[in-house]
Amino acid sequence: MKFSEKYSEEIEFLLENGGTAVRYRTLSELCDDPNMLEIKNLKQEITDTEQTIKLINYLKNRRGYHGATLLDAEVSLNMLVDMGVKYGCGFEKFDIVMDEMAVDVKEHFLLQYDCFRIFFQIIMIPFLYRAGMRDTWIKEFILNRLAVIYDFVKHKNYDIYEEPNKHNLPAGYKGRPVVKPELYENGDFQIPLEYDLYGFSEMYFELKDEDKKKTDVIIDYIFDKKFQTIHDGYGILVRNKNQKRYICMGWDPKPTNLHGNHTINPLLLKLDCFARIPSAVKTPWFKEAVKIIDQYACSNGIYNIPKEYLTEKDSVWMLGYHMNLGENRRKKTALTVTGTFRALKIHKLINRFALN
């Protein structure tokens, strides 16, 4: 049975009650035989919405790449993608900004020996790919990250910290573990970052078999119980060996703790990311996480997911603070529409895999 037949009532609900972005994405991503003329019309509507225009302007006039505001490219770009705006799909103003930004990202290096030398590329290149860009250098960067991380995690080495008393840390950092500098020398992080997972998951079905196997090894590493015991965010980095400068690390790719307060974590984003990798979908964590979301499905298949899962406020996109998909939150159906679409999108992704 086709996906749109199996979930026909839910799809009909989204098309009748959703805003422009949800209707566009429902037709283009959830329907097996969509009305192409209607998709074209909705695409134009998205282009003309105040939200799209505003976010493209923020992206164009960005103050940087990493951060928690709309002027930080990782936020505004992913919000646009969540609304269905993709490179090379007829969103001309978006494409112009993306072309300009991609050139800057490609050349955006910090000091040669800085641990953040290529950090902005690690952050942005997976999202350029998520946004639809397929330049060779973008693919090569993600594949290089895959190879670097694989070469480390294949040994199942979780001994990533310095001896506790080796560094005289500033007062605010005391008590936190220091990650071994050889694991991020010149910015080539050998430990996986959450940003890397977005690159690997978006690219998975375009990978060669050998690279899919490398991805599976990385998935096995981060779902191992030993990885769950590492410090949240990894810990402290030594930014300059000679001057003993330190900085807080973040963005470890641990799956959400389902036995903690998972409602304040980006569970839906995590599921959407992992749902693109078969080995992740087969993990006990993934199956349990889907059950948590599915418990909010009504008898008619519509999801009444609590608002804690669907936060919308000015903060970090990666932490699940921009889940709205352009819906008018003053409408009674806004949360139901958003939650139903996000849940169905996850099911559409895993529908490709034959699971026992």
The predicted model scores a pTM of 0.95
CB 197 within 8 A of CB 251: no
Q: Report the pLDDT value the prediction gives residue 82, as an integer from 0 to 100.
A: 98
Alpha-carbon gap, residue 316 to 262, rounded angstroms: 17
Q: Is residue 7 part of a domain?
A: no
176 confidence band (pLDDT: 50, 70, 90)? very high
Assess if residue 277 is contained within a domain: no
At residue 158, the pLDDT reads: 97
In this structure, the answer to whether residues 151 and 168 fall within a common structural domain is yes
Range of the domain at 137: 109-254
Three-point CA angle 274, 153, 108, nearest 5°: 75
Same domain, 64 and 102: yes
Reading the block at residue 143, the tokens are: 């594949």
Tell me which of 42-51, 72-81, 106-115 is least confident: 106-115
Residues 124 and 240 occupy one common structural domain? yes
Closest CA to 176 of 235, 93, 259, 250: 235
User: What pLDDT digit, counting tens, does each position of 272-328 carry?
Assistant: 999 999 999 999 999 999 999 999 999 999 999 999 999 999 999 999 999 999 999
One domain for residues 148 and 103? no
Going through 190-248 in order, the beta strands assigned E by DSSP cover 236-240, 245-248
Residue 77 counted as domain residue: yes
Query: Do residue 189 and residue 248 come from a single domain?
Result: yes
In the 8-state DSSP scheme, what is residue 28? Answer: I
Same domain, 148 and 203: yes
Please report the pLDDT score of residue 262 as a whole number: 66
Asked if 125 and 99 sit in the same domain, the reply is no
Per-residue confidence (pLDDT) for residue 265, from 0 to 100: 66
Phi, psi of 336 (to 5 degrees): -65, -40
User: Which pLDDT value is given to residue 261?
Assistant: 73
Residues 6+ apart with CB under 8 A from 306: 263, 296
DSSP 8-state class, residue 355:
-
Q: How many residues are there in the chain?
A: 356
Cα separation, 212 vs 348, whole angstroms: 20
Tell me which of 87, 107, 127 is where a domain ends: 107
Residue 256: half-sphere exposure toward Cβ, Cα within 13 Å: 26
Domain count, the chain: 2
Q: What digits encode the pLDDT tens for the residues 105-117? A: 998 877 666 888 8
What is the dihedral angle through the alpha carbons of 240, 242, 245, 250, rounded to the nearest 10 degrees? Answer: 40
In a domain, 71, yes or no: yes
Q: Please report the pLDDT score of residue 269 as a whole number.
A: 95
At residue 355, the pLDDT reads 42
Residue 158 included in any domain: yes
One domain for residues 88 and 128: no
| 128 has pLDDT over 80 | yes
